[in-house]
Amino acid sequence: MNFTLKVWRQAGPQAPGRLVTYPAEGISPDTSFLEMLDIVNERLIAKNEEPIAFDHDCREGICGMCGAVVNGYAHGHERRTTLCQLHMRSFRDGATICIEPFRARAFPVIRDLVVDRSAFDAILMTGGYISIRTGAAPEANAIPVPKENAERAMDAAACIGCGACVAACPNASAMLFTAAKIGHLGLLPQGQPERFDRVRTMVSAMEQAGFGSCTNHGECEAACPKGISMDFIARMNLDLIRAAIRHR
Amino acid sequence: MVLDGKVPEGPIEQKWDRHRSRLKLINPANKRKYRILVVGSGLAGASAAASLAELGYAVDCFFFQDSPRRAHSIAAQGGINAAKNYPNDGDSIWRLFHDTVKGGDYRAREANVYRLAQVSNAIIDQCVAQGVPFAREYGGTLENRSFGGAQVSRTFYARGQTGQQLLLGAYSALLRQVAAGRVRLHRRCEMLDLVVVEGRARGIVTRDLITGKFERHAGDAVVLGTGGYGNVFYLSTNAKGCNVTAIWRAYRRGAFFANPCFTQIHPTCIPVTGDHQSKLTLMSESLRNDGRVWVPKRKGDTRPPNRIPEEERDYFLERRYPAFGNLVPRDVASRAAKAVCDEGRGVGPGGLGVYLDFADALERLGRPVIEERYGNLFDMYKKITAEDPYGTPMRIYPASHYTMGGLWVDYNLMSNLPGLFVIGEANFSDHGANRLGASALMQGLADGYFVLPYTIGDYLATAGKSGIDTDHAEFVAAEEQVRGRIARLLGIRGERSPDSFHKQLGRLLWNECGMSRNEAGLRRALEEIPRIRDEFWRNLRVPGTADTLNQTLEKASRVADFLEFAELMVRDALHREESCGGHFREEHQTEDGEAKRDDERFAYVAAWEFRGDGAAPELHKEPLRFDHVKPEQRSYK
């Protein structure tokens, strides 16, 4: 298969960026999107040009390291798919493919397609945990968890922290990311003691990190490679109101 | 030199408890005066960094990804073992210990494995308390499933994402300590050398991958939790960034490298499709609970699987190993798959694949149950291959997955260099010559949560404060060397990319030092590796500069270390003239093709000491004693 790529090239955080056109020819349909970029990069190295910088690691859709906006979609057009799991067979032969970094004020570009997502850690640092010391845990089966809650908590905990929700949101909001962690811990009995403090500190940290607010576009859920539901945002908002009432 | 593993005296059941209560302690008010450098943020690194910070130590944590949550532990799918015996099927600490020693083909240290089994239950308690959403029964209690190499169900799991959930648990504990100011995170920061002063580990030299800045970090102890070296094969199930650099640099500074030839080839991976392939994807071993492995009985049978009648199928694992069937350990399953493919009965392109068939399970349990158990794995398979495993059997083939070898450590997880501790997959581990499924997560967390925090205190209490700062001549010299090496990589200006060398090395090792090995092949590899290395240093091309994010440069530096390490791995495989676990020497097999150990000559840990570039490494042995589990020919029939 043959493609024409338009790739965002930016030498550093302060440098201006621009779209540069590269041919990607003779690509097998079984090639993954990142392997296609590998091939293009090998050809760039052969021409003594600097390869396209992009983040990636596990290449099986779980580490959350990869991600780019492909033809306007975070992680590309396939639903519930990370960029590393997107295969070239899902593109039309001869297509032009536009590749840009995830864009958000809270995710500054480092180089080309690589962005800084440490703002996500900053949110979780303020409460995305259960305060338990190593060694202080009670016997595991002493805390029964209804199967339904465990499953629902797992639905939220499946978040891989890739940032596609932020990239897809017109407001660059991190609501889905934040709500997923709050939902995961808030649905479990272990998470109850800190539940309302957690929602207050994490939402405030999210705002301070420069993410926008939610206006219910729903782009986040559509872009999420793990299919995390917006229902968790509603749940988080309800907890936030409860927290405000309790706090008064 | 005969190495001493420093196993404490006393009955095996009491060794750890007695040892623990005799270890020296540090006053709580003094702990903050000790700085510990933890390299790696996976299950071992994150759990260690968090637990040490909770105790009050000042901790620095280094990792090359953008967040600690990206570490490759995240990709573990199937589960984590513990001896809880919740299903009431006869499990016990003793049985977990026994299965692990036997599964490792009697090449692990008994006392370590016993301790691992002992602390396994506390790990589950800890993870549940952190909010890890393990699978539950309807009554709200924890659910278990079975895994390879065991006849009890002792594996806890969170769908097909157990590693992810356990890592997120350790990561959340780590972030709590970062917020408390007790851990400093060093993102996108790669360790490039270990600093040793008068025989003790005193710090590291790192490179900031974004700015290219070299930094010296001094500490009272250094902890490496930097994972395994499975990527030496180029194609593996490891994440692309996994590398041998940290432990290889430590080896070059005097730490012994143990059993480098013990590599695990996992039986259930998606087969290679072509040259473009950059990595292989694992399909969790848990699939073997309900999937049946088969190939056609007839050579060259190219009919689609659904057209091959039952009587013309060979369920070779069930046939050869009736007692364990599809759940034989990984090394056994991988070799059996290779054997049928070598006979010409493999399926799919190139004949390098076998079927993993869920038709019976779908009929017996129904689609909703299979979806609940394996839904995400089936989806992943479909995305990669464009085939629907609900309708047609999966095709699988073995791939490099885990490495049992690593830096040698004593019972306290300290290497032969005082002050250098090695945890998780990076050490030579409790898995002997073959790791059982769901035991890597167990070991990573055991080391980080429940072993290292005790033993490191004893070292610090005995050794005292380091008192050496980063202006010391050894720090200056180490940084100079690292700078020089990076400049050299950029200065070659040859014609080939780092990946092209990595692929060449990987192919060579897969053929000569992979699932089966023989003397002639290993000797060929020993001749070929230096040639590839020579060309690398003459003909490498790395565009760009060192003072900015340069991913080609990162790769080149890692490939350079793989090219040195590969030689040690092959040398170790050549010296071990027996078959055990994942190390299968064709010259040493039983009549029916099983691995044949030689306990008379090889019941030891082979620990190699660096003697300089161009010089042969020196072999040291730690003899292994089996007082509790009697070594026998492993049988899963």
For residue B575, pLDDT beyond 80: yes
Say which CATH number the domain at B348 has: 3.90.700.10
* Residue A59 and residue A83 share a domain: yes
Specify whether A234 is located in the same domain as A190: yes
Q: How many CB atoms within 10 Å of residue A195? A: 18
Distance (Å, rounded) from C-alpha A117 to C-alpha A71? 21
pLDDT on residue A124:
98
- What is the mean predicted confidence (pLDDT) over B230-251? 98
Per-residue pLDDT tens over the stretch A182-203: 999 999 999 999 999 999 999 9
> Is the Cβ of B179 closer than 8 Å to some Cβ of chain A?
yes
Q: What is the mean pLDDT of chain B?
A: 96
Asked if the C-beta of A62 comes within 8 angstroms of chain B's C-beta atoms, the answer is yes
Q: Does the pLDDT value for residue B160 go beyond 90?
A: no
Looking at residue B202, its pLDDT comes to: 98
Between strands B58-62 and B35-39, the pairing is: parallel
Residue holding tokens 């338009």? Answer: A6
Contact A75, A85 (CB under 8 A): no
Same domain (yes/no): A172, A69: no
Q: Across chain A, what does the average pLDDT equal? A: 97
pLDDT for B284 beyond 80: yes
CATH number, residue A34: 3.10.20.30
Q: What is the pLDDT of residues B425-457, one digit of tens each?
A: 999 979 999 999 999 999 999 999 999 999 999
Percent of chain A with pLDDT over 70: 100
Question: Does position B21 have pLDDT exceeding 80, yes or no?
Answer: yes
**Domain limits for position A61:** 3-111
- Judge if A174 and A93 occupy the same domain: no
Q: Residue B369: CA atoms inside 13 Å, Cβ hemisphere, count?
A: 11
pLDDT class of B43 with cuts at 50, 70, 90: very high
- Please report where in the chains the tokens 């793989």 appear, as a residue: B562
Judged by DSSP in three states, B161 sits in coil
The C-alpha of A170 sits at a distance from chain B's nearest C-alpha, in angstroms, of 24
Angle at B407 between CA B402 and CA B409, to 5 degrees: 115
Whether residue B546 lies within 8 A of chain A, CB to CB, comes out as: no
What CATH number is associated with residue A127?
1.10.1060.10
Contact list, B68 vs chain A (CB under 8 Å): 121
| Predicted structure pTM score | 0.97
- Given A111, A127, A158, the domain boundary residue is A111
The 10s digit of each residue's pLDDT in B449-485 is: 999 999 999 999 999 999 999 999 999 999 999 999 9
User: What tens digit of pLDDT does each residue of A163-183 get?
Assistant: 999 999 999 999 999 999 999
A151 and A85 in a single domain? The answer is no
Q: Which of B400, B417, B451 is the last residue of a domain?
A: B400
For residue B125, pLDDT beyond 90: yes
Q: Check whether residue A50 and residue A131 sit in a common domain.
A: no
User: Strand B200-208 relative to strand B189-197: parallel, antiparallel, unpaired?
Assistant: antiparallel
Range of the domain at B515: 473-602
Q: Are B407 and B244 within 8 A, CB to CB?
A: no
Does B396 fall in a domain?
yes
**Hey, what are B573's tokens?**
């495989």
pLDDT at site B225: 98
B137: confidence class by pLDDT, cuts 50, 70, 90: very high
CB B402 within 8 A of CB B444: no
Residue B446 lies in a domain: no
pLDDT of residue A222: 98
* Alpha-carbon span B563 to A153, nearest angstrom: 45
What pLDDT, on the 0 to 100 scale, is given for residue A135?
Answer: 94
pLDDT at A246: 86
**Contact flag A57-B499 (C-beta cutoff 8 Å):** no
Contact B124/A at CB under 8 A: yes
Do residues B507 and B390 both lie within one domain?
A: no
- Tell whether the model's pLDDT for residue B241 goes beyond 90: yes
Q: Are residues B491 and B585 in the same domain?
A: yes
* E strands, B101-219, in order: 155-156, 183-186, 189-197, 200-208, 214-218
pLDDT confidence of B375, banded at 50, 70, 90? Answer: confident
Average pLDDT for residues B237-260, to the nearest whole number? 98
Residue A54 tokens read as: 């992009």
> What does the alpha-carbon distance between residue B175 and residue B184 come to, in Å, rounded to a whole number?
10
Last residue of a domain, which of B400, B434, B452? B400
Does a structural domain hold residue B406?
no
The CATH number of whichever domain residue B481 belongs to comes to: 1.20.58.100
Three-state SS at B577: coil
Could you list the active site residues of B?
330
**Nearest CA to CA, how far is B284 from chain A (Å)?**
12
Which residue, A63, A86, A111, sits at the end of a domain?
Answer: A111
Encode burial over A95-113: b for 16+ CB neighbours within 10 A, e otherwise. Answer: eebbbbbbebebbbbbbbb
3 state SS for B210-229: CCCCEEEEECCEEEECCCCC
Looking at the structure, tell me whether residues A36 and A127 fall in a common domain: no
Same domain, yes or no, for A129 and A77?
no
- Number of domains chain A contains: 2
Number of separate domains in chain B: 2
- pLDDT for res B633: 85
Question: Do A157 and A228 sit in the same domain of this protein?
Answer: yes
Q: Tell me: pLDDT of A247 over 80.
A: no
Task: Tell me how far apart the alpha carbons of residues A14 and B49 are, in angstroms, rounded to a whole number.
Answer: 34
Confidence band, pLDDT 50/70/90 cuts, at residue B57: very high
Domain boundary, last residue among A52, A83, A111: A111
**Beta strands B155-156; B189-197: pairing state:** unpaired
Task: Choose the final residue of a domain: B358, B384, B400.
Answer: B400
Q: What residues contact B35, with CB distance under 8 A and at least 6 apart?
A: B57, B58, B59, B60, B218, B219, B220
